[in-house]
Amino acid sequence: MLDHVVANAKRPSARVGQGSSLLAVAGEARVHPSTVSRILRDDPAVRVRPATRQRVIAAAAALGYVPNANARGLALRRTTTLGLIIPSTANIVYEQIIKGAESAARAAGYVLVLAESADVGQVDSAHRELILGGRVDGLLIASGTLRESLPRAVLNGVNNTIILNRRIRGSVPSIIEDDERGMARGVEHLVALGHTRIACLAGPEEVDTATRRLSGFKEALRAAGLPVSRGYIQRASFDEAGGYEAMLRLLQLERRPTAVAASSIVAAIGALAACHATGVSVPGELSMIAFHDATIAQYLTPSLSTIWMPLFELGEMATRQLLEVIDGRDIPSVQRLQDPEPRVIPRASTAPPPAD
Amino acid sequence: MLDHVVANAKRPSARVGQGSSLLAVAGEARVHPSTVSRILRDDPAVRVRPATRQRVIAAAAALGYVPNANARGLALRRTTTLGLIIPSTANIVYEQIIKGAESAARAAGYVLVLAESADVGQVDSAHRELILGGRVDGLLIASGTLRESLPRAVLNGVNNTIILNRRIRGSVPSIIEDDERGMARGVEHLVALGHTRIACLAGPEEVDTATRRLSGFKEALRAAGLPVSRGYIQRASFDEAGGYEAMLRLLQLERRPTAVAASSIVAAIGALAACHATGVSVPGELSMIAFHDATIAQYLTPSLSTIWMPLFELGEMATRQLLEVIDGRDIPSVQRLQDPEPRVIPRASTAPPPAD
DNA sequence: TTCCGTTGGACAAGCGCTTGATCATCGGCC
DNA sequence: GGCCGATGATCAAGCGCTTGTCCAACGGAA
């Protein structure tokens, strides 16, 4: 009855690049493959003699058995794999999100794979490949360029998808950080230092996070009884070059600000460079604080004051919510992460305004 | 004969989160599933009437058919997926490697997935999961902490693996950049500016690239007829903190160097910060050049001279070599990427030594 | 001794796709 | 008119794993 198994066991793994099969383990332990499967998966509905269990486990270990993910995925129609799409690995902001997602996925027994997709078209095709192709059970999308439009498939009700840090029309749930509050904290820090002429390096108009940060900026100014001057709000792309140029524009104003709140730490790095290039002393003549913290902040000159946001927790929470969706539970359409509160990390780039 | 197909076509995709099946497309086009498969894969051994082909293609498009990767992977025993393991997405150096690998993979019709694995243990388990589990056809490993030891499975002849930028004992092929030459170019740049007291921020002793860069440093000094002073070689981990501390040690020498070649741009950022913290002017009192270029280099103060290395091409080449291995062809054990040559990108951090 | 409930496993179908083998149909040729 | 080679598809097995079902053997109770 088991002859096919035994026969197979005599020929140990002809294929290269892949592990030994259930059949091989079964042959080694002299049981049926299904028994091996049940034992290795800890199937509660299985009753085996302890000795058999040991034999199977030993055989699996001896052969270095690793189940074939494709076969398992096919049979189970799930893969215990989650995907995370990011626009670029280069952006330091994603570091913590990735680590948080990875941590939550691992804790739930899932594998996390990353895919880099710069534009919406790429996100669309990656989404199709991954979700429709059955490669992953769910997808986290952290695309900066993702605006109001979304991949067709996503909108067509093919879900198991969560958007990170963007609110999108439609049924795709998203989880966002409390950008308003974070930016407000930054402005409050500047106000507390005595600044009254505070400018904002705002992000691109179409980006949701940029909008939220800008509105946090305005609100905080109003709350402090300060005017929101039109010229003090400069749009800047979320990269060094954007920050550099926007800063130059601010410095050309006849009445310069004494402090700048940047919506992006990357843009702030560019802005800092613009100050050095034009001989503007930071924080002597101008204070600067940036949204999001990163290792490099303390190694810049001057070290950069930042607004720390719970990005690790954002990645974790998004992953946990995704797992809820996968398990068929409903979750709110938009959730805002409030718990670890935004926190200003004061460094050398912020100081009281010049006596002037 | 086709009744099962038609029956299935009446129930359009009961499963959620996955696409329509071959069966559904076959039902829609009123042909056998195998015919659909052949047409969609452009099987040269298939002969179909143009009208049928059109019907099938239209049906697939109408249903938004995406083949199930697990089923295909199971049948084909390959997945058209490549994995790239990196220690951390945070490291700016990996950005270009990732882009290069992604580009070469895409050009060959492969999907690239990234996995973050910090230590050797994690690399080992990720390797098992991915290769033995049949999730990927091949793996690129760009682990910084990977030293002389490698995952067991890799060493056990389970290949389809390429190591990036580390030479490892054993049969795993690796492809490396020309670190010696790159570092030599940096030193030559400093020598040409008139420096004679040149120090090196060397990387960790156990890391292969660090060793190669250091030997390039020494050779270049010898070639220039300059002495290699013991104290001028300071080990520093490849991060900001490591560069910061190593730089402080250099600055405490009674006879300070007038120039520093850093083995890592990240460490150089830390080193620059150390100079600012101790009031050492760069490049007034000390010139600095860093190995590897990155966007941030031109936004630092002063902007940082760097040694550009062909990292994009490294990622591309490694991927192409991996595909060779997958296709069963032999490749050399260690290959050094020479073609786009290392190039010094001079910026403000390097200048002639002080008149002193 | 006989019957029956447990225990410890084996059996087989099926997940969606690929592919070598097979087969019906049809026009052309002698 | 019968045979044959193309043509244009269908059939069926199998990839490795999971899981509902089934079955042999065994021990205890009547």
User: Which residue of chain B is at minimal alpha-carbon distance from A68?
Assistant: B133
Q: How far is B225 from chain A (nearest CA, A)?
A: 35
Nearest CB neighbour to A17, from listed B114, B128, B158: B158
Q: How far is B6 from chain A (nearest CA, A)?
A: 22
Q: How many whole angstroms separate alpha carbon A185 and alpha carbon B46?
A: 66
CB contact under 8 A, A244 and B160: no
Would you state the pLDDT for residue A158? 55
Pairing of strands B198-202, B233-235: parallel
Q: What are phi and psi of B166, to 5 degrees?
A: -140, 135
Tokens of B334: 């260690």
Lowest mean pLDDT among A254-263, A305-314, B53-62, B168-177: B168-177
Residue scoring higher pLDDT (B31 or A126): B31
DSSP state string for B186-242: HHHHHHHTT--SEEEEE--TT-HHHHHHHHHHHHHHHHTT----GGGEEE--SSHHH
pLDDT tens sequence for chain A (356 residues): 333 333 333 223 333 456 789 999 999 999 999 999 999 999 888 889 999 999 999 999 999 999 999 999 999 999 999 999 998 888 889 999 999 999 999 999 999 999 988 777 778 888 888 998 999 999 999 976 665 556 555 555 557 999 998 887 777 889 999 999 999 999 999 999 999 999 999 999 988 899 999 999 999 999 999 999 999 999 999 999 999 999 999 999 999 999 999 999 999 999 999 999 999 999 999 999 999 999 999 999 999 999 999 999 999 999 999 999 999 888 998 999 999 999 999 999 999 999 86
A contacts of B296 (beta carbons < 8 Å)? 240, 269, 296
A256 exposure class (CB count in 10 Å sphere: 0-12, 13-18, 19+): middle
Nearest to A152 by CA among B66, B68, B59: B66
CB contact under 8 A, B89 and A67: no
Chains A–B, number of C-beta pairs less than 8 Å apart: 173
Percent of chain B predicted with pLDDT > 90: 74
Q: How many whole angstroms separate alpha carbon A239 and alpha carbon B7?
A: 55
Would you state the pLDDT for residue A103? 95
**Whether residue B340 has a cis bond before it, omega within 30° of 0:** no
Tokens of A286: 């101008």
A contacts of B137 (beta carbons < 8 Å)? 17
Q: Predicted confidence band at B37 (pLDDT cuts at 50, 70, 90)?
A: very high
What's A352's DSSP letter? P
Nearest CB neighbour to B133, from listed A66, A138, A160: A66
Nearest to A57 by CA among A71, A44, A38, A72: A38
Residues near B120 by beta carbon (within 8 Å), at least 6 away in sequence: B143, B145, B146, B147, B149, B150, B151
Q: How many whole angstroms separate alpha carbon B172 and alpha carbon B140?
A: 11
Apex A97 CA angle, A95 and A103, nearest 5: 105
Pairing of strands B161-164, A111-116: unpaired
DSSP state string for A63-105: HT----HHHHHHHHS--SEEEEEES-TT-TTHHHHHHHHHHHH
Q: Predicted confidence band at B148 (pLDDT cuts at 50, 70, 90)?
A: low
**Whether residue A283 has a cis bond before it, omega within 30° of 0:** yes
**Number of Cβ atoms within 10 Å of the Cβ of A149:** 13
Specify whether the CB–CB gap between A136 and A82 falls below 8 A: yes
Nearest CB neighbour to A70, from listed B70, B89, B272: B70
The predicted model gives B188-194 an average pLDDT of 98
DSSP state string for B295-351: GGGGGSSSPPEEEE--HHHHHHHHHHHHHHHHTT----SEEEE-SSPPEEE--TT--
B contacts of A135 (beta carbons < 8 Å)? 69-70, 81
What's A341's DSSP letter? P
Q: What is the CATH number of domain A3-67?
A: 1.10.260.40
Residue scoring higher pLDDT (B7 or A340): A340
CA of B36 to C1' of D11 (A): 14
Residues spanned by CATH 3.40.50.2300 within chain A?
A: 78-177+312-337, 179-309
Tokens of B72: 């295909």
Say whether pLDDT at B147 is over 70. Answer: no
Q: Predicted confidence band at B11 (pLDDT cuts at 50, 70, 90)?
A: very low
Rg of chain B in Å (alpha carbons): 27
Nearest CB neighbour to A89, from listed B89, B133, B156: B89
How far from the centroid of its chain's Cα atoms is residue B235's Cα? 24
Q: How far is A173 from chain B (nearest CA, A)?
A: 15
Homologous superfamily assigned to B179-309: Response regulator (3.40.50.2300)
Q: What is the CATH number of domain A78-177+312-337?
A: 3.40.50.2300
Q: How many whole angstroms separate alpha carbon A312 and alpha carbon A292?
A: 12
Residues spanned by CATH 1.10.260.40 within chain B?
A: 3-67
B contacts of A239 (beta carbons < 8 Å)? 295
The predicted model gives B232-254 an average pLDDT of 96
Would you state the pLDDT for residue A216? 98
* Placement of tokens 């492809």 in the chain: B175
Q: How far is B68 from chain A (nearest CA, A)?
A: 4
How far from the centroid of its chain's Cα atoms is residue A335's Cα? 15
Return the CATH number of B77-177+312-337, one of 3.40.50.2300, 3.40.50.720, 3.40.50.10780, 3.30.70.1060. 3.40.50.2300
- For C19, nearest residue by CA–C1' is B34
The CB-side HSE value for B177 (13 A sphere, CA atoms) comes to: 28
Nucleotide with minimal C1' distance from the CA of A72 is D17
How far lies B102's CA from each of A89, B111, B250, in Å? 12, 8, 40
Q: Does an H or E element contain A176, and which?
A: strand A174-177
Helices (H) and strands (E) in chain B, counts: 13, 12
- Strand order through the sheet with A198-202: A233-235, A198-202, A259-262, A287-291, A305-308, A343-345
Would you state the pLDDT for residue B355? 87
* Placement of tokens 């120090």 in the chain: B199
A contacts of B18 (beta carbons < 8 Å)? 77, 131-132, 134
- For D15, nearest residue by CA–C1' is B75
Tokens of A301: 């000159």
B229 exposure class (CB count in 10 Å sphere: 0-12, 13-18, 19+): middle
SS3 B171: coil
Residues spanned by CATH 3.40.50.2300 within chain B?
A: 77-177+312-337, 179-309
Q: Which amino acid is at B128?
A: R
Q: Predicted confidence band at B134 (pLDDT cuts at 50, 70, 90)?
A: very high
How far lies A24's CA from each of A5, A8, A21, B31, B73, in Å? 7, 7, 5, 38, 20
Q: How many whole angstroms separate alpha carbon A106 and alpha carbon A100?
A: 10
Would you state the pLDDT for residue A123? 81
Residues near A132 by beta carbon (within 8 Å), at least 6 away in sequence: A153, A158, B18, B19, B64, B66
SS3 A289: strand
Say whether pLDDT at B351 is over 90. Answer: yes
* Placement of tokens 């156990």 in the chain: B206
Best probe of the A interface among B296, B303, B319, B324, by most A CBs < 10 A, is: B296
Tokens of B276: 């600012």
Nucleotide with minimal C1' distance from the CA of B25 is C16
